[in-house]
Protein backbone atom coordinates (compact mmCIF):
# COMPACT_ATOMS: atom_id res chain seq x y z
CA UNK A 1 0.00 0.00 0.00
CA UNK A 2 1.32 3.43 -0.93
CA UNK A 3 2.41 5.61 1.97
CA UNK A 4 -0.08 8.37 1.16
CA UNK A 5 -3.03 5.96 1.11
CA UNK A 6 -1.94 4.35 4.37
CA UNK A 7 -1.43 7.73 6.07
CA UNK A 8 -4.79 9.07 4.87
CA UNK A 9 -6.58 5.92 6.05
CA UNK A 10 -4.98 6.20 9.49
CA UNK A 11 -6.12 9.82 9.85
CA UNK A 12 -9.62 9.15 8.50
CA UNK A 13 -10.22 5.98 10.54
CA UNK A 14 -8.87 7.60 13.71
CA UNK A 15 -11.18 10.61 13.47
CA UNK A 16 -14.19 8.46 12.58
CA UNK A 17 -13.45 6.18 15.54
CA UNK A 18 -13.04 8.91 18.16
CA UNK A 19 -16.08 10.78 16.81
CA UNK A 20 -18.21 7.63 17.01
CA UNK A 21 -17.07 7.10 20.62
CA UNK A 22 -17.76 10.74 21.50
CA UNK A 23 -21.22 10.92 19.94
CA UNK A 24 -22.07 7.34 20.91
CA UNK A 25 -21.50 8.06 24.59
CA UNK A 26 -23.61 11.19 24.29
CA UNK A 27 -26.51 9.21 22.80
CA UNK A 28 -26.24 6.47 25.43
CA UNK A 29 -26.06 9.02 28.27
CA UNK A 30 -28.58 11.50 26.85
CA UNK A 31 -31.32 10.83 29.41
CA UNK A 32 -28.82 11.24 32.26
CA UNK A 33 -27.52 14.63 31.09
CA UNK A 34 -29.01 17.93 32.27
CA UNK A 35 -30.43 20.32 29.70
CA UNK A 36 -28.70 22.72 29.39
CA UNK A 37 -25.33 21.04 30.02
CA UNK A 38 -22.20 22.52 31.53
CA UNK A 39 -20.04 23.32 28.49
CA UNK A 40 -17.17 25.37 29.90
CA UNK A 41 -15.14 24.98 33.07
CA UNK A 42 -12.99 27.42 35.02
CA UNK A 43 -9.53 26.90 36.45
CA UNK A 44 -10.84 24.94 39.42
CA UNK A 45 -13.05 22.70 37.31
CA UNK A 46 -16.26 24.55 38.18
CA UNK A 47 -18.78 24.99 35.38
CA UNK A 48 -19.09 28.61 34.25
CA UNK A 49 -21.04 28.31 30.98
CA UNK A 50 -23.84 26.15 29.60
CA UNK A 51 -25.09 24.82 26.28
CA UNK A 52 -28.21 22.93 25.28
CA UNK A 53 -27.84 19.19 24.72
CA UNK A 54 -28.73 19.50 21.04
CA UNK A 55 -26.20 22.29 20.51
CA UNK A 56 -23.51 20.27 22.31
CA UNK A 57 -24.15 17.22 20.11
CA UNK A 58 -23.94 19.12 16.83
CA UNK A 59 -21.06 21.32 17.95
CA UNK A 60 -19.00 18.30 19.02
CA UNK A 61 -19.58 16.44 15.78
CA UNK A 62 -18.89 19.49 13.62
CA UNK A 63 -15.62 20.33 15.39
CA UNK A 64 -14.34 16.78 14.98
CA UNK A 65 -15.45 16.73 11.33
CA UNK A 66 -13.75 20.01 10.43
CA UNK A 67 -10.46 19.20 12.17
CA UNK A 68 -10.39 15.69 10.72
CA UNK A 69 -11.12 16.98 7.21
CA UNK A 70 -8.37 19.60 7.53
CA UNK A 71 -5.73 17.03 8.55
CA UNK A 72 -6.95 14.54 5.93
CA UNK A 73 -6.53 17.15 3.19
CA UNK A 74 -3.04 18.03 4.41
CA UNK A 75 -2.10 14.34 4.41
CA UNK A 76 -3.58 13.48 1.03
CA UNK A 77 -2.55 16.51 -1.03
CA UNK A 78 0.74 17.23 0.68
CA UNK A 79 4.15 15.77 -0.11
CA UNK A 80 5.52 14.99 3.34
CA UNK A 81 8.70 13.02 2.81
CA UNK A 82 10.81 11.08 5.29
CA UNK A 83 9.84 11.78 8.91
CA UNK A 84 7.75 14.88 8.08
CA UNK A 85 4.74 12.82 7.06
CA UNK A 86 4.94 10.69 10.18
CA UNK A 87 4.96 13.82 12.33
CA UNK A 88 1.88 15.18 10.54
CA UNK A 89 -0.11 11.96 10.93
CA UNK A 90 0.96 11.48 14.56
CA UNK A 91 0.07 15.07 15.50
CA UNK A 92 -3.24 14.86 13.63
CA UNK A 93 -4.31 11.70 15.47
CA UNK A 94 -3.03 12.96 18.83
CA UNK A 95 -5.07 16.17 18.50
CA UNK A 96 -8.18 14.19 17.57
CA UNK A 97 -7.80 11.83 20.51
CA UNK A 98 -7.08 14.67 22.95
CA UNK A 99 -10.07 16.71 21.83
CA UNK A 100 -12.48 13.77 21.76
CA UNK A 101 -11.27 12.67 25.21
CA UNK A 102 -11.83 16.11 26.74
CA UNK A 103 -15.29 16.41 25.21
CA UNK A 104 -16.20 12.91 26.40
CA UNK A 105 -14.92 13.67 29.90
CA UNK A 106 -17.00 16.86 29.89
CA UNK A 107 -20.07 14.78 29.05
CA UNK A 108 -19.18 12.35 31.85
CA UNK A 109 -18.89 15.23 34.33
CA UNK A 110 -22.49 16.18 33.51
CA UNK A 111 -23.87 12.71 34.26
CA UNK A 112 -26.81 12.65 36.68
CA UNK A 113 -26.34 16.31 37.62
CA UNK A 114 -29.51 18.05 38.77
CA UNK A 115 -28.39 21.24 37.02
CA UNK A 116 -25.41 22.43 34.99
CA UNK A 117 -24.34 24.85 37.71
CA UNK A 118 -23.36 22.05 40.09
CA UNK A 119 -21.15 20.19 37.58
CA UNK A 120 -17.44 19.92 38.37
CA UNK A 121 -14.87 18.50 35.94
CA UNK A 122 -11.89 16.92 37.76
CA UNK A 123 -8.59 18.36 36.58
CA UNK A 124 -7.01 14.91 36.37
CA UNK A 125 -9.14 14.40 33.27
CA UNK A 126 -6.77 16.76 31.46
CA UNK A 127 -3.83 14.54 32.32
CA UNK A 128 -5.66 11.42 31.15
CA UNK A 129 -6.57 13.12 27.87
CA UNK A 130 -2.97 14.18 27.32
CA UNK A 131 -1.74 10.66 28.09
CA UNK A 132 -4.20 9.08 25.65
CA UNK A 133 -3.13 11.56 22.97
CA UNK A 134 0.55 10.76 23.54
CA UNK A 135 -0.04 7.01 23.29
CA UNK A 136 -2.15 7.43 20.14
CA UNK A 137 0.47 9.68 18.53
CA UNK A 138 3.32 7.26 19.27
CA UNK A 139 1.27 4.32 17.99
CA UNK A 140 0.51 6.14 14.73
CA UNK A 141 4.19 7.09 14.37
CA UNK A 142 5.03 3.37 14.44
CA UNK A 143 2.16 2.26 12.17
CA UNK A 144 2.58 5.00 9.56
CA UNK A 145 6.31 4.62 8.88
CA UNK A 146 8.32 7.10 6.78
CA UNK A 147 7.45 8.11 3.24
CA UNK A 148 10.17 6.49 1.11
CA UNK A 149 9.32 8.56 -1.99
CA UNK A 150 12.26 10.83 -2.88
CA UNK A 151 11.61 14.53 -2.35
CA UNK A 152 10.85 16.27 -5.66
CA UNK A 153 13.75 18.12 -7.16
CA UNK A 154 11.53 20.41 -9.20
CA UNK A 155 11.91 21.41 -12.82
CA UNK A 156 14.86 23.45 -13.98
CA UNK A 157 14.15 27.14 -14.36
CA UNK A 158 14.57 28.72 -17.76
CA UNK A 159 16.86 31.78 -17.43
CA UNK A 160 15.48 35.02 -18.86
CA UNK A 161 17.49 37.39 -21.03
CA UNK A 162 18.48 40.45 -18.98
CA UNK A 163 16.55 43.66 -19.59
CA UNK A 164 19.20 46.14 -20.74
CA UNK A 165 19.29 49.20 -18.49
CA UNK A 166 21.30 52.35 -18.95
CA UNK A 167 23.40 53.87 -16.19
CA UNK A 168 21.11 55.62 -13.72
CA UNK A 169 17.96 54.34 -15.45
CA UNK A 170 15.20 53.45 -12.99
CA UNK A 171 12.83 50.51 -13.52
CA UNK A 172 10.34 48.92 -11.13
CA UNK A 173 8.16 45.83 -11.55
CA UNK A 174 5.37 44.98 -9.11
CA UNK A 175 2.43 42.61 -8.89
CA UNK A 176 -0.07 41.60 -6.22
CA UNK A 177 -0.66 37.91 -5.65
CA UNK A 178 -3.48 36.34 -3.68
CA UNK A 179 -4.56 32.87 -2.61
CA UNK A 180 -8.17 31.77 -2.31
CA UNK A 181 -6.93 28.55 -0.71
CA UNK A 182 -5.25 30.39 2.16
CA UNK A 183 -8.38 32.49 2.55
CA UNK A 184 -10.47 29.33 2.90
CA UNK A 185 -7.94 27.82 5.32
CA UNK A 186 -8.05 31.00 7.40
CA UNK A 187 -11.85 31.01 7.49
CA UNK A 188 -12.03 27.32 8.47
CA UNK A 189 -9.35 27.78 11.15
CA UNK A 190 -11.21 30.72 12.66
CA UNK A 191 -14.50 28.79 12.54
CA UNK A 192 -13.02 25.76 14.29
CA UNK A 193 -11.28 28.01 16.83
CA UNK A 194 -14.58 29.77 17.58
CA UNK A 195 -16.36 26.44 18.05
CA UNK A 196 -13.60 25.21 20.37
CA UNK A 197 -13.83 28.44 22.37
CA UNK A 198 -17.60 28.02 22.63
CA UNK A 199 -17.09 24.46 23.91
CA UNK A 200 -14.57 25.63 26.51
CA UNK A 201 -11.44 24.08 24.96
CA UNK A 202 -9.52 27.34 25.29
CA UNK A 203 -5.95 26.13 24.77
CA UNK A 204 -6.72 24.56 21.39
CA UNK A 205 -8.97 27.49 20.46
CA UNK A 206 -6.29 30.09 21.14
CA UNK A 207 -3.67 28.01 19.29
CA UNK A 208 -5.88 27.76 16.21
CA UNK A 209 -6.84 31.43 16.23
CA UNK A 210 -3.18 32.46 16.53
CA UNK A 211 -2.25 30.12 13.68
CA UNK A 212 -4.84 31.86 11.50
CA UNK A 213 -2.92 35.16 11.71
CA UNK A 214 0.02 34.18 9.47
CA UNK A 215 -2.36 32.51 7.00
CA UNK A 216 -4.40 35.72 6.81
CA UNK A 217 -1.25 37.83 6.38
CA UNK A 218 -0.02 35.60 3.55
CA UNK A 219 -3.35 35.48 1.70
CA UNK A 220 -2.41 38.64 -0.24
CA UNK A 221 1.13 39.87 -0.99
CA UNK A 222 2.93 42.46 -3.07
CA UNK A 223 5.91 41.25 -5.13
CA UNK A 224 8.37 43.96 -6.22
CA UNK A 225 11.59 44.00 -8.22
CA UNK A 226 13.59 47.25 -8.13
CA UNK A 227 17.14 48.58 -7.65
CA UNK A 228 17.25 46.99 -4.18
CA UNK A 229 16.38 43.49 -5.42
CA UNK A 230 13.31 41.33 -4.83
CA UNK A 231 10.82 42.08 -2.05
CA UNK A 232 7.69 40.21 -0.97
CA UNK A 233 5.43 41.80 1.66
CA UNK A 234 1.78 42.10 2.75
CA UNK A 235 0.13 45.27 1.40
CA UNK A 236 0.58 48.32 3.61
CA UNK A 237 3.66 47.09 5.44
CA UNK A 238 6.86 49.08 4.98
CA UNK A 239 9.11 46.23 6.04
CA UNK A 240 9.03 43.29 3.57
CA UNK A 241 8.32 39.81 4.82
CA UNK A 242 11.14 38.65 2.52
CA UNK A 243 13.85 40.61 0.73
CA UNK A 244 16.65 39.34 -1.50
CA UNK A 245 19.29 41.92 -2.36
CA UNK A 246 20.94 42.16 -5.77
CA UNK A 247 24.23 41.03 -4.27
CA UNK A 248 22.60 37.71 -3.27
CA UNK A 249 21.27 36.90 -6.77
CA UNK A 250 23.14 34.69 -9.21
CA UNK A 251 20.47 34.53 -11.92
CA UNK A 252 16.69 34.65 -12.30
CA UNK A 253 14.43 32.54 -14.47
CA UNK A 254 10.95 31.10 -14.82
CA UNK A 255 9.59 27.65 -14.05
CA UNK A 256 6.32 25.92 -13.25
CA UNK A 257 5.63 25.18 -9.58
CA UNK A 258 3.09 22.73 -8.23
CA UNK A 259 2.16 23.91 -4.74
CA UNK A 260 1.71 20.47 -3.20
CA UNK A 261 3.99 18.34 -5.36
CA UNK A 262 6.97 20.71 -5.08
CA UNK A 263 6.45 22.41 -1.70
CA UNK A 264 3.77 20.50 0.18
CA UNK A 265 1.19 23.30 0.38
CA UNK A 266 0.55 27.03 0.27
CA UNK A 267 2.20 29.97 1.98
CA UNK A 268 5.85 30.52 2.82
CA UNK A 269 7.38 27.11 2.16
CA UNK A 270 10.80 25.61 2.83
CA UNK A 271 12.29 22.35 1.62
CA UNK A 272 15.91 21.19 1.22
CA UNK A 273 17.68 23.49 -1.25
CA UNK A 274 14.70 25.74 -1.90
CA UNK A 275 12.18 28.08 -0.31
CA UNK A 276 9.50 30.36 -1.63
CA UNK A 277 6.16 32.08 -1.47
CA UNK A 278 3.68 29.66 -3.03
CA UNK A 279 0.17 31.08 -3.15
CA UNK A 280 -1.00 28.66 -5.84
CA UNK A 281 0.34 26.38 -8.56
CA UNK A 282 1.54 27.99 -11.77
CA UNK A 283 4.29 30.03 -13.36
CA UNK A 284 6.88 31.23 -10.88
CA UNK A 285 9.81 33.61 -10.67
CA UNK A 286 12.80 31.43 -9.79
CA UNK A 287 15.81 33.17 -8.23
CA UNK A 288 19.02 31.17 -8.01
CA UNK A 289 21.04 32.55 -5.10
CA UNK A 290 24.84 32.74 -4.98
CA UNK A 291 24.88 30.16 -2.23
CA UNK A 292 23.25 27.65 -4.59
CA UNK A 293 19.76 27.68 -3.10
CA UNK A 294 16.59 28.65 -4.96
CA UNK A 295 13.83 31.07 -4.00
CA UNK A 296 10.54 31.03 -5.92
CA UNK A 297 7.46 33.24 -6.05
CA UNK A 298 4.41 32.05 -7.96
CA UNK A 299 3.23 35.21 -9.71
CA UNK A 300 1.83 36.39 -13.06
CA UNK A 301 4.33 38.11 -15.32
CA UNK A 302 7.26 36.14 -13.93
CA UNK A 303 9.19 36.54 -17.23
CA UNK A 304 9.24 40.34 -16.93
CA UNK A 305 10.27 40.14 -13.27
CA UNK A 306 13.12 37.72 -14.08
CA UNK A 307 14.34 39.83 -17.01
CA UNK A 308 14.39 43.01 -14.93
CA UNK A 309 16.11 41.29 -12.00
CA UNK A 310 18.77 39.86 -14.32
CA UNK A 311 19.24 43.30 -15.89
CA UNK A 312 19.64 44.97 -12.50
CA UNK A 313 22.12 42.30 -11.37
CA UNK A 314 24.11 42.59 -14.61
CA UNK A 315 24.30 46.39 -14.36
CA UNK A 316 25.42 46.18 -10.75
CA UNK A 317 28.20 43.78 -11.67
CA UNK A 318 29.34 45.97 -14.58
CA UNK A 319 29.38 49.08 -12.41
CA UNK A 320 31.31 47.21 -9.77
CA UNK A 321 34.05 46.20 -12.22
Residue 308 CA to residue 163 CA, distance in Å, equals 5
pLDDT of residue 252: 93
* 260 in Cβ contact with 269 (< 8 Å): no
Fold of 158-177+219-320: PH-domain like (2.30.29)
pLDDT of residue 104: 92
Residue 74 CA to residue 68 CA, distance in Å, equals 10
Residue 284 CA to residue 1 CA, distance in Å, equals 34
pLDDT of residue 244: 94
- Give the dihedral of Cα atoms 190, 193, 198, 201; nearest 10 deg: -170
pLDDT of residue 240: 67
Residue 23 CA to residue 284 CA, distance in Å, equals 46
Domain map (residue ranges) of the chain: 3-144, 158-177+219-320, 180-218
Q: Quick one: which of 270, 279, 268, 260 has its CA closest to 77?
A: 260
Residue 27 CA to residue 250 CA, distance in Å, equals 64
Residue 190: CA atoms inside 13 Å, Cβ hemisphere, count? 11
DSSP-based three-state secondary structure for 96? helix
CA 45 to chain centre: 32
pLDDT of residue 301: 92
| pLDDT by position in tens, the chain (length 321) | 577 788 889 999 999 999 999 999 999 999 999 988 888 777 777 877 788 888 888 888 888 988 888 888 877 765 554 556 778 889 899 999 999 998 999 899 999 888 888 888 888 888 888 899 999 989 988 887 776 555 444 456 777 888 888 777 889 999 988 877 667 777 777 877 777 676 666 666 776 677 777 767 667 889 999 999 999 988 766 666 789 999 999 999 999 988 767 787 777 888 888 999 888 888 999 999 998 899 999 999 999 999 999 999 998 888 775
Residue 34 CA to residue 51 CA, distance in Å, equals 10
Pinpoint the alpha helices (H) of the chain: 3-29, 53-77, 83-109, 124-144, 180-199, 202-218, 259-263, 302-320
Residue 20 CB coordination number (10 Å): 12
Residue 14 CA to residue 170 CA, distance in Å, equals 58
pLDDT of residue 80: 53
Amino acid sequence: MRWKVRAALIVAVSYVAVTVVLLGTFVSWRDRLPDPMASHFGGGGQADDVMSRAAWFWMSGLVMLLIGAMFLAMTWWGRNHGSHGRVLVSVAVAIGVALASLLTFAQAANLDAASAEEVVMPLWHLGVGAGLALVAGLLCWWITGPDSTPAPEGSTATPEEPLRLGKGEIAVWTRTVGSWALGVVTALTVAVGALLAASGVWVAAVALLLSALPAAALSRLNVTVDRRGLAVAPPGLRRPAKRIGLDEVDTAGVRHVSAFADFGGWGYRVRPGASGVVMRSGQALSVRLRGGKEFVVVVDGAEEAAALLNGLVERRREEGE
